Amino acid sequence: MIFSSDNGGETRVTTDAPLRAGKSTLYEGGIRVPLIVRYPRLVPANTICKTPTCNIDFYPTFCDLLGIRPKPQERIDGITITPLLGKPEAKLNRDTLYWHYPLAKPHFLGGHSSGAVRKGDWKLIQFFDTAEFELYNLADDTGEKTNLADRYPDKVRQLTALLEAWRKHIARKNMSAFIPQKLKTQN
């Protein structure tokens, strides 16, 4: 049994406290969701894993658990999280997560056209419409209250480079509309 969600709660009817914001944003309240797995043969009862995963990891995990190999022409974006199921302290072969949320206009729930990258405890949000950046250390600031972008310009550059490289890599895979026009003209 798996319980999860595709996005955070809608802030007009719920709260994601202590996380910031909710559905339609790339703040933690919009992208951090619960994942509960019950699989007694593999998952020890009452264990907690703190490693971030994505819903795109479900398919490769199910394939792994069933001993199925995806077809060679299938593009798999996620990775198997099977190692975490048996040992919550296990390490995955991934330390960076990406989000892409291009919008023609702000979302009625408050979200703005943006992209984000998380590497370890550091998370950068790039707003496409304003070209502004926000940087957070999630280990110290889960609620994303203190934007550290001005204090850590090297970290902003490092994470921005990762985000741009990821977008270009994805765009090469037949997704020409993936990079917002405003960013295309800036590069």
Q: For 97-135, how does the pLDDT look when each residue is reduced to its tens digit (9 = 90+)?
A: 999 999 999 999 999 999 999 999 999 999 999 999 999
Percent of the chain scored above 70 by pLDDT? 92
Beta strands per DSSP E along 88-142: 96-101, 114-119, 122-127, 133-137
C-alpha closest to that of 109 among 5, 14, 3: 14
9: Cβ contacts below 8 Å, ≥ 6 apart? 15, 16, 22, 23, 29
Each residue's pLDDT tens digit, 137-172: 999 999 999 999 999 999 999 999 999 999 998 877
* Type of residue at 166: W
pTM summary value: 0.90
pLDDT at residue number 171: 78
The token pair at 90 is 């296990």
Q: Domains of the chain by range and CATH?
A: 2-186 (3.40.720.10)
What is the C-alpha separation between 75 and 79, in angstroms, rounded? 11
State mean pLDDT over 170-175.
67
Say which DSSP state 23 is in: T
